[in-house]
Chains A and B, each alone.
Chain A
Amino acid sequence: MSDDSAQRRYPRFSLSDRLEHWVQVVVFTGLAITGLVQTWSESWFPKVIITGLGGINSTRFIHRSLAVAALIATAYHLGTAGYRFFVKRTGHHMLPGFNDVRAAMRSVSFNLNLRPDPPHQGKFTFAEKAEYWSIIWGTVLMAVTGLMMWNPIATTEILPGELIPAAKAAHGGEAILAVLAILVWHMYFVYVQPFNRSMFTGYLTEEEMYEEHRLELEAIRSGERTITIPPETLRRRRRIFFPVYGAIVILAAASVLLFLSYQEGAITTVTPPPSGSEVYTPYAPATVPPSADAAPPTVEP
């Protein structure tokens, strides 16, 4: 490979993709912090954070606000992914397949020196696909269990009550799994293994393409990726996609709103303990109460 070709850059993430990613980073981090401090609220450090956030009620409020942001980000992603998949018809790159299992196994044997060459992978490596689909699965699970806990009254109208503490357990477990996975898997592949700048710059170098995405590089070189869709086809697909996508998003948003406001979760007034009795009710037995203190009389001389 000459130095010249190494300088050649291949677009990987559009500005929209990168924006989506960094919004996701902020929302995920915020959710992780405001959530995990609730999981471990008995320890001192989470308490410091909860205090800093203004107490448990405001911590929960921030967590739920971020959850709404995450849902919106997810809806946006469904839009971009759906557009790629149904309109541009390029979304299949992210679909997992048996090739990915083989790539993972080959990668291990290559690293163990059992094979002479690394696996050749497409636009997304098996590691990237594994992470992407983990996030999809995690988002679904966190959204479902989170909403269940958000309005347990509505949830138990249709589901058994035990699923509420079960949802809490799953929400906490999945959170720990997700945070650790990001810290280990994502950080390693993006920052430790040759630093991948594409989420900042939007581009990969030819060398990076050759190392990590050789099949994609070959496809680009052979002109396979330079298909232009006729404008009418594009228009037709859009005419179907946008209304369907819009309807799905509106329907989903309406369902979530309806679910959350379906019925009052809990009273918001601060009630006194349910004593239900008058406090001052003097005991009235036949005899005089002992409060009658002895008083000096007037003694006749």
Chain B
Amino acid sequence: MVNRTVRNLLIFAAVLLALGVGSTCRASAQVAVEWDNATCLECHSEPGFSTELPSGEDLDLTIDEDQWNRSIHAEWNMKCVFCHTEITAIPHDSPSFDNSREYAIRKSEACIVCHREQEVIEDSVHAQAREDGNDQAAVCSDCHDPHYTTDPPISHTAIPETCRSCHAEIYDQYTESVHGSALTEGNPDVPTCTDCHGVHEIAGPSRGTFHLFSPEICASCHADEELMGKYGIKTDVFSTYVADFHGRTITLFQEITPDQATNAPVCISCHGVHDIQSADEAGSTVAKENLLTTCQNCHPNADAAFPEAWMSHYSASPAEWPIVYYVRLFYRIVIPVVIGGMLIYITIDVTGRRRRRKAVQSV
């Protein structure tokens, strides 16, 4: 009897759960009291409304009602108390947190109730940093203002601005780079921070795997003929890299020993990262006059003739790298001629021997 009751309850719960999947967010956020937002905004739309935190910080509590109404959360008819679940009565107390940072970190739990798939996974460099005790590592609200966020949450061109709040130095480098300066001019084709680093699963760039697989990131645009065609940029940069010693090493590490570290250079090792310039630019790390210095990063004893050992993303042709071209041509001719000659000789030898053997037998 009891078992049946338990079973029925379980089935009932399962059905509820199944029905509730679409509205998990609201269901779980619902609390005993449910004020409409107007109740909250009575106080919180007041300009200059603020409170002093135990840390001494003055925390702005004002919500811009117009901006809130344009936000995606308002569009979804979200209520303030869905996230601010601690508000169970009005008037309410200041919640128990010491500073605004502590609150921002704690409050990201409210985001995850609905945005489970964006939950910062363990691999994320920000989550790792926070785990290591760095409070400044980004949480949801650092990038997405929960009250005013729209859909898409951050426009492509606004992404660098968002990351800038913590990575200002890199932002400054980026805006000077060939990619960043184009983005500033409104070019949507160039990569922003998240195109290379990822978003919520963002990995630390100093990790071996990021270094190892970074050429694929560059190739995703630079091997795209349609995209590069717009700018007259050659697309064989990746294939010529892979054909050379460095790229071959990286490719084999990727495929065979991705867990092992290698210092073989990837695109960014020579071209620069956030400060990357067009290779045609005089200031570029790969400009002819700077190339030796760049090589010397890894080959400290390299001499003036050394950079020429790298074929600069060219395939050998009579015009570019003629010696390489003619050496290859030599073997393309010599191998079939020599081996072909051997085979002809052997064929003649075999037929001669067979004929003589037959002659002996017939005698």
Contacts and interface: CB of A to CB of B under 8 A. Distances in A.
Interface string B25-55: 0000000000000000001100001110000
A233 B335 CA distance: 46
A162 B91 contact: no
B94 A296 contact: yes
A184 B349 CA distance: 13
Contacts of B103: 293, 295
A163 B93 CA distance: 78
Given A164-B309, A301-B91, A275 B273 contact: yes
A165 B316 contact: yes
A229 to B, nearest CB: 38
A269 interface: yes
Interface in B38-97: 43-44, 49-51, 59-63, 84, 86-87, 90-95
A51 interface: yes
B53 to A, nearest CB: 8
A56 B249 contact: yes
14 contacts: A55-B253, A56-B248, A56-B257, A188-B342, A263-B301, A266-B298, A273-B211, A291-B165, A294-B60, A295-B59, A295-B103, A296-B86, A296-B94, A297-B43
Interface in B318-334: 321, 323-324, 327-328, 330-332, 334
Interface in B349-363: 349, 351-353, 355
Interface residues of B, number: 102
A295 B267 CA distance: 46
B309 to A, nearest CB: 4
Nearest to B40: A296
Contacts, number: 248
Interface string A35-73: 000100110000100110001110000000000000000
Report the interface size class on chain A: 35 or more
A299 to B, nearest CB: 4
B352 A275 contact: no
Contacts of A280: 136, 166-167
A162 B307 contact: no
Given A112-B348, A295-B59, A161 B100 contact: no
Interface string B101-125: 1011001000000000000000000
Interface of B: 43-44, 49-51, 59-63, 84, 86-87, 90-95, 100-101, 103-104, 107, 136, 141-142, 145-147, 164-171, 173, 205-206, 208, 211, 214, 242, 244-245, 248-249, 251-253, 255-257, 260-263, 266, 268-269, 272-274, 297-303, 305-311, 316, 321, 323-324, 327-328, 330-332, 334-335, 338-339, 342-343, 345-346, 348-349, 351-353, 355
A188 B346 CA distance: 8
A180 B338 CA distance: 10
Query: Which 10 pairs between the two chains have the least Cβ-Cβ distance?
Result: A161-B308, A111-B352, A173-B331, A164-B309, A299-B91, A263-B301, A283-B168, A281-B169, A56-B252, A161-B309
